Amino acid sequence: MNPVKIGLLGLGTVGGGTVNVLKRNAAEISRRAGCNIEVAYASARDLNKPRICDTTGIELTTNAAEIVENPDVQIVVELIGGDTLAHEMVMRAIANGKHVVTANKALIAKHGNEIFAAAQKQGVMVAFEAAVAGGIPIIKAIREGLAGNHIEWLAGIINGTGNFILTEMRDKGRDFDDVLAEAQRLGYAEADPTFDVEGIDAAHKLTILASIAFGIPLQFDKAFTEGITRITREDVEYAEEFGYRIKHLGVSRRTDSGIELRVHPTLIPEKRLIANVDGVMNAVLVQGDAVGPTLYYGAGAGADATASAVVADIVDIARVLSAEPSHRVPYLAFQPDQMADTPILSMDEVVTAYYLRMAVIDTPGVLAEITRILGESGISIEAVIQKAGRGEGDTVPLILMTHEVKEGQMNKAIAAIESLDAVQGEITRIRVESLG
Amino acid sequence: MNPVKIGLLGLGTVGGGTVNVLKRNAAEISRRAGCNIEVAYASARDLNKPRICDTTGIELTTNAAEIVENPDVQIVVELIGGDTLAHEMVMRAIANGKHVVTANKALIAKHGNEIFAAAQKQGVMVAFEAAVAGGIPIIKAIREGLAGNHIEWLAGIINGTGNFILTEMRDKGRDFDDVLAEAQRLGYAEADPTFDVEGIDAAHKLTILASIAFGIPLQFDKAFTEGITRITREDVEYAEEFGYRIKHLGVSRRTDSGIELRVHPTLIPEKRLIANVDGVMNAVLVQGDAVGPTLYYGAGAGADATASAVVADIVDIARVLSAEPSHRVPYLAFQPDQMADTPILSMDEVVTAYYLRMAVIDTPGVLAEITRILGESGISIEAVIQKAGRGEGDTVPLILMTHEVKEGQMNKAIAAIESLDAVQGEITRIRVESLG
Q: Using pLDDT thresholds of 50, 70 and 90, give the confidence band for residue B257.
A: confident
A46-75 pLDDT tens trace:
999 999 999 999 999 999 999 999 999 999
Residue A29 to residue A19: CA distance in whole angstroms? 13
User: Measured between CA atoms, how close is B7 to chain A, in angstroms?
Assistant: 17
Q: Are the C-beta atoms of A358 and A385 separated by less than 8 Å? A: no
Question: What is the number of domains present in chain B?
Answer: 3
Count CB-CB contacts under 10 A for residue A388. 8
Tell whether A262 and A377 lie within a shared domain: no
CATH code, domain carrying B398: 3.30.70.260
Residue B339 scores a pLDDT above 80: no
Task: Decide if A290 and B28 are in contact by the 8 Å CB cutoff.
Answer: no
Tell whether A152 and A292 lie within a shared domain: yes
Of B172, B205, B247, B406, the catalytic one is B205
User: Measured between CA atoms, how close is B204 to chain A, in angstroms?
Assistant: 15
Tell whether A153 and A280 lie within a shared domain: yes
CATH code, domain carrying A99: 3.40.50.720
Tell whether A120 and A15 lie within a shared domain: yes
Q: In what order do the strands lie in the sheet with A126-127?
A: A59-61, A37-43, A4-9, A75-78, A99-102, A126-127
Tell whether A150 and A260 lie within a shared domain: yes
Q: Using pLDDT thresholds of 50, 70 and 90, give the confidence band for residue A174.
A: very high
Alpha helix stretches (DSSP H) within A123-232: 138-140, 160-172, 176-186, 194-197, 200-214
3-state DSSP call for residue B425? strand
**CB-neighbour burial class of residue A370 (10 A; exposed 0-12, middle 13-18, buried 19+):** buried
Residue of chain B whose Cα is closest to the Cα of A319: B144
- End-of-domain residue from the set B314, B338, B362: B338
Tell whether A95 and A158 lie within a shared domain: no
Residue B298 scores a pLDDT above 90: yes
Tell whether B211 and B77 lie within a shared domain: no
Query: Annotated catalytic, A49?
Result: no
Tell whether A292 and A155 lie within a shared domain: yes
- The size of chain B, in residues, is 436
List the one residue out of B365, B415, B314, B358 whose CA is nearest residue B32: B314
DSSP secondary structure, A106-151, as one string: HHHHHHHHHHHHHHHHHT--EE-GGGSSTTS-HHHIIIIITTTS-E
B49-87 pLDDT tens trace:
999 999 999 999 999 999 999 999 999 999 999 999 999
Q: Are the C-beta atoms of A96 and A76 separated by less than 8 Å? A: no
Residue of chain A whose Cα is closest to the Cα of B260: A345
Q: State the pLDDT at residue B435.
A: 65
A327-383 pLDDT tens trace:
555 555 556 676 667 777 888 988 889 999 999 998 888 999 999 999 999 999 988
What number is the average pLDDT over the span A267-273?
A: 89
Tell whether A280 and A325 lie within a shared domain: no
DSSP state for residue A370 in the 8-state scheme: H
Residue A280 to residue A210: CA distance in whole angstroms? 22
Count CB-CB contacts under 10 A for residue A337. 9
Tell whether B212 and B318 lie within a shared domain: no
CA B143 to chain centre: 18
> For residue B245, which amino acid is it?
R
Q: State the pLDDT at residue B241.
A: 86
Task: Decide if B231 and A430 are in contact by the 8 Å CB cutoff.
Answer: yes
Conformation bin of residue A300: beta by default, left when phi > 0, alpha when psi is -120 to 50: alpha
Residue B273 to residue A274: CA distance in whole angstroms? 9
CA atoms within 13 A on the CB side of B101: 27
Tell whether B323 and B236 lie within a shared domain: no
Task: Decide if B432 and A291 are in contact by the 8 Å CB cutoff.
Answer: no
> What is the C-alpha radius of gyration for chain A, rounded to an integer number of angstroms?
27
Residues in chain B within 8 Å Cβ distance of A24: 150, 289
Tell whether A95 and A201 lie within a shared domain: no
CATH code, domain carrying A222: 3.30.360.10
What number is the average pLDDT over the span B99-121?
A: 93
DSSP state for residue B319 in the 8-state scheme: H
Q: Are the C-beta atoms of A369 and A409 separated by less than 8 Å? A: no
Residue of chain A whose Cα is closest to the Cα of B294: A298
Q: Which of B22, B146, B230 shows the shortest C-beta gap to A308?
A: B146
Pairing of strands B99-102, B75-78: parallel
Q: Which of A117, A224, A385 shows the shortest C-beta gap to B241?
A: A385
Residues in chain A within 8 Å Cβ distance of B119: 331
Residue B343 scores a pLDDT above 80: no
Task: Decide if A144 and B129 are in contact by the 8 Å CB cutoff.
Answer: no
Q: Which of A249, A297, A312 shows the shortest C-beta gap to B146?
A: A312
Mutate to test the interface with A, among B149, B170, B399 (most CBs of A within 10 A): B149
Domain containing residue A395: 347-432
Task: Decide if A265 and B431 are in contact by the 8 Å CB cutoff.
Answer: yes
Phi and psi at A430, nearest 5°, equal -125, 130
